[in-house]
Amino acid sequence: MSTKETVTGARATLSELAAGDEMPTTVIGPISRTDIVRYAGAGGDFNPIHHDEPLSQRFGLPQVFTMGMLQGGALAQRLARWVGPANVLSMTLRFTGQVWPGDELTLAGRVASIEDGVATLELSAARQTGDVVIKASATARVAH
């Protein structure tokens, strides 16, 4: 899976984060069927709806689609790169859409607030169509 990174408002150090700051945006993809199969092997999710196109179509889907945790993991990795893995305190995900082979995803986030050295973060993953496929929130330790 390829990635393209565009910096949008990143601060130099974690201690300089402020409410409203944005995580450097990353675009991943296009997602391939090989990416889906690799994730299935790594994550142990062999539900055939993710790799068996005729079965997916019998369920009324146009084709196979990714496991939500494929893009969830990419978003978590991006968060950890931004604030440092040791500083991530919590993260919750809500899956709001499907990701299909060929999709490109934009991973984005922003600091909603900082209180007592803990940043509350709002994160998302969106398809190239603008459809948001993950809404997430996280907390991270900051040195203020």
Lookup: tokens for 33: 């069927």
Q: What pLDDT does residue 16 have?
A: 78
Give the residue-averaged pLDDT of 127-137. 98
- Cβ atoms within 10 A of the Cβ of 102, count? 13
- Cβ atoms within 10 A of the Cβ of 65, count? 19
Q: What pLDDT does residue 103 have?
A: 98
- pTM of the full predicted structure? 0.89
Asked whether the predicted pLDDT for residue 14 surpasses 80, the reply is: no
Q: What pLDDT does residue 7 have?
A: 47
Residue 11: pLDDT band (50, 70, 90) is: very low
List the chain domain ranges. 3-32+65-141
Asked whether the predicted pLDDT for residue 30 surpasses 70, the reply is: yes
Q: What pLDDT does residue 115 have?
A: 95
Question: What's the mean pLDDT when you consider all of the chain?
Answer: 91
Q: What pLDDT does residue 15 have?
A: 73
Decide: 101 and 64 in contact? Cβ < 8 Å.
Answer: yes
Q: What pLDDT does residue 135 have?
A: 98
Can you name the CATH fold of 3-32+65-141?
Thiol Ester Dehydrase; Chain A (3.10.129)
Which of 3-7, 13-17, 72-76, 86-90 is predicted least confidently? 3-7
Long-range pairs for 10-17: beta carbons < 8 A, 24 or more residues apart: 10/82, 14/83, 14/84, 14/87, 14/140, 14/142, 14/143, 15/142, 15/143, 15/144, 17/83, 17/111, 17/114, 17/119, 17/142
Q: What pLDDT does residue 10 have?
A: 47
Lookup: tokens for 22: 């944005």
